[in-house]
Amino acid sequence: MIKTTELDKLTSFSYRNPTKEDGAKMWELIKNTSNMDLNSAYSYLMFSNYFGDTCIVAEDKDEMIGFVSAFRPPASPDTIFVWQVAVNQMYRGQGIGNKLLNELLSRDACENVHYLEATVSPSNLPSQSLFKGLAKQMNCPCEISDCFTEEMFPEPGHEAEQTYRIGPF
């Protein structure tokens, strides 16, 4: 009997840019399987439609199992800002988040990108590990700085967010 390795599992998944039809599935994935902020369905539709070249969807057969949404800030064209990385709970721990980020950075839309930025809350240990691991994998620094304080968020109980800046690469 042939044993499937973790690498075999990762390569059996498909990775592609989303279309606007994927926006609702992205929203559902966050709603059903994540401790991340659930934004409006409209925001996921906009990301998949207007920023599809800087977003990646992971699929297992025809089922969306993860995505990364990102954009290039106009004031920082050498930077890709990762807005969210989501992986279905049943697929976590298999390196899909890392694969999504590597897929993103390998796309033409990131050709002249030298930095990756994201904001992460202090309690989100999986995201902290993901971004620190990516920096280590790419052999470049990961600088962490304050970004948004708790008081800046209109809803009570929202944690502060720190910026993770990886690069230059």
Type and span of the H or E element at 145 = strand 142-148
Residue 7: pLDDT band by 50, 70, 90 thresholds? very low
At residue 50, does pLDDT exceed 80? yes
Q: What is the mean pLDDT of residues 90-95?
A: 92
Residue 31's pLDDT is what? 92
For the entire predicted model, the pTM comes to 0.89
Residue 24's pLDDT is what? 96
Residue 98's pLDDT is what? 97
Q: What is the mean pLDDT of residues 79-90?
A: 96
Residue 86 is classified by DSSP as E
How far is the C-alpha of 87 from the C-alpha of 55, rounded, in Å?
A: 14
Beta bridge partners of 89: none
How far is the C-alpha of 155 from the C-alpha of 169, rounded, in Å?
A: 36
How far is the C-alpha of 49 from the C-alpha of 151, rounded, in Å?
A: 32
Whether 141 contacts 135, CB under 8 Å = yes
How far is the C-alpha of 32 from the C-alpha of 153, rounded, in Å?
A: 23
Share of the chain above pLDDT 90, in %: 85
Strands 142-148 and 56-60: unpaired
At residue 117, does pLDDT exceed 70? yes
Residue 3's pLDDT is what? 42
Looking at 3.30.200.20, 3.40.50.2300, 3.40.630.30, 3.40.50.720, the CATH number of the domain 6-166 comes to 3.40.630.30
Q: Give domain limits for the chain.
A: 6-166
Tens digit of each residue's pLDDT (9 = 90 or more) over 51-74: 999 999 999 998 999 999 999 999
CB atoms < 10 A from the CB of 19, how many? 11
Residue 2's pLDDT is what? 38
Kindly tell me the sign of the dihedral angle through the C-alpha atoms of 32, 34, 35, 38: negative
